[in-house]
Amino acid sequence: MASKRLDLSALHRRFVSLALSCVHREYPNKIAHVLTSDADIQAPRQLTPAFYGCFDWHSAVHGHWLLARLARIDSNLTDECCQALRQSLTKENLDNEVKYIDNNQRQAFERPYGLAWLLQLTMELDEWSKEENHQILKEVKQWRENLRTLEELVVKRLSLWLPKLSYPVRSGEHSQTAFALGLSLDYARHVNNDIFAQLIEQQSLRFFTQDKFYPFNYEPSGEDFLSAGLAEADLMRRVMKRNSERFLQWFKEFLPENNLPINLEPPSIADPTDPKLIHLAGLCLSRAWMLEGIIQMLPENSEQRNQLKDLSQRNAQAGLTAIDESHYEGGHWLGTFAVYLITRRGIN
């Protein structure tokens, strides 16, 4: 047990170092930027002054989530993580984020992936701000409050968009619907936003209730970092959390017992320096945590539960092994996926 704790501490340190190395690293940078005039031709740090590092906006957002998560749960890392959070999460910076995003020409900005991670960051700070034994509680409360206007804009954006989405997006990348709805539902329930939570639940049921015999043999695509099938099941176990029998009935038809798809085994990553091919390392990590979530709803000691648990562990090992600090192509974002997995954020 002691060695496991030591290993976990080392992983925390490793992934914090990844985030700290990039949250304020402006270049290289891929901006999803709609120009509305010559005045919009500016550097990333001027356009989005809180979240300009880590190569792109959504990675900067979830890089800050990683720092908040580990600052909160690992006291050995709190000080250095908070230095970075303190620099980014000022009221001025976040007000300018709102100013940038709240533009009719940017209605689809980072929707839904980046917006869902913003809600995860908000939830992490909100939970942290209520832990009375933390010495920097006052600052955490201020960071959480600084995010409120941006948080409200994001919830409004997603709330207006979801009812108009005729079909779910079943990709394995940023546009995927199910993964973002899972993160957003966790947030909505935490902050007791019943209207937003009910909207997500209703739309999830509309999108996915009728799905049967999911074709896992069509996965993965070569640049996936999310499994459309597992993300759907991980979302539905959240939606049906209060009715386990309903989930079990749904899942029995979605992925029948004794039908473990070989395609869910860890994939081969031919070139970890390629920014798209390294997505497969993230796929392994997200599969692992999605399988862990699904397993929570399955009967103890059932054959399917044991099979999926083993599959989760194989994907987790492959994903963690594939993270290489020397390659920024994966290093700027894979730490977040690793921390989401090892801290069991989607379950706890």
DSSP calls for 18-41: HHHTTTT---S--------SGGG-
Extract the tokens encoding 255: 């992925």
CA atoms within 13 Å, Cβ hemisphere of 140? 27
Instruction: Give me the percent of the chain exceeding a pLDDT of 70.
Output: 98
Spatial separation of the C-alpha atoms in residues 141 and 71, rounded to whole Å: 14
What integer pLDDT is reported at residue 135 of this predicted model? 74
Of 10, 130, 109, 14, give the one whose Cα is nearest residue 61.
Answer: 109
What integer pLDDT is reported at residue 134 of this predicted model? 66
Confidence of residue 156 (pLDDT cuts 50, 70, 90): very high
- Could you give the angle at which helices 334-342 and 303-322 cross, rounded to 10 degrees? 140
Residue-averaged pLDDT of the chain? 95
Question: Under a CB-based contact definition with an 8 Å cutoff, are residues 57 and 113 in contact?
Answer: no
Confidence of residue 105 (pLDDT cuts 50, 70, 90): very high
Spatial separation of the C-alpha atoms in residues 64 and 54, rounded to whole Å: 10
Residue 282 C-alpha from the chain's centroid: 11
Spatial separation of the C-alpha atoms in residues 311 and 302, rounded to whole Å: 14
Residue 205 C-alpha from the chain's centroid: 21
Spatial separation of the C-alpha atoms in residues 41 and 120, rounded to whole Å: 30
Question: Under a CB-based contact definition with an 8 Å cutoff, are residues 177 and 216 in contact?
Answer: no
Alpha helices in the chain (DSSP H): 2-20, 44-47, 57-73, 78-88, 91-101, 113-128, 137-146, 148-161, 177-190, 194-208, 228-239, 244-254, 279-295, 303-322, 328-331, 334-342
Confidence of residue 53 (pLDDT cuts 50, 70, 90): very high
Mean pLDDT of all residues in 165-187? 98
Question: Under a CB-based contact definition with an 8 Å cutoff, are residues 214 and 255 in contact?
Answer: yes
Question: Under a CB-based contact definition with an 8 Å cutoff, are residues 227 and 159 in contact?
Answer: no
Residues 186-192: contacts with CB under 8 Å, at least 24 apart? 186/120, 186/123, 186/238, 186/346, 187/116, 187/119, 187/120, 187/122, 187/123, 188/119, 190/123, 190/126, 190/127, 191/122, 191/123, 191/126
CA pseudo-torsion sign 68, 189, 207, 263: positive
Q: What is the pLDDT of residues 2-22, one digit of tens each?
A: 334 448 999 999 999 999 999
Q: Confirm whether pTM is higher than 0.75.
A: yes
Of 187, 175, 31, give the one whose Cα is nearest residue 100.
Answer: 31
Spatial separation of the C-alpha atoms in residues 50 and 98, rounded to whole Å: 10
With b for 16 or more beta-carbon neighbours within 10 A and e for fewer, the 126-137 pattern comes to bbbbeeeebebe
Which residues are CB-contacts of 112 (< 8 A; sequence separation ≥ 6)?
Answer: 158, 161, 175, 177, 180, 181, 184
**Residue 340 pLDDT > 80, yes or no?**
yes
What integer pLDDT is reported at residue 255 of this predicted model? 96
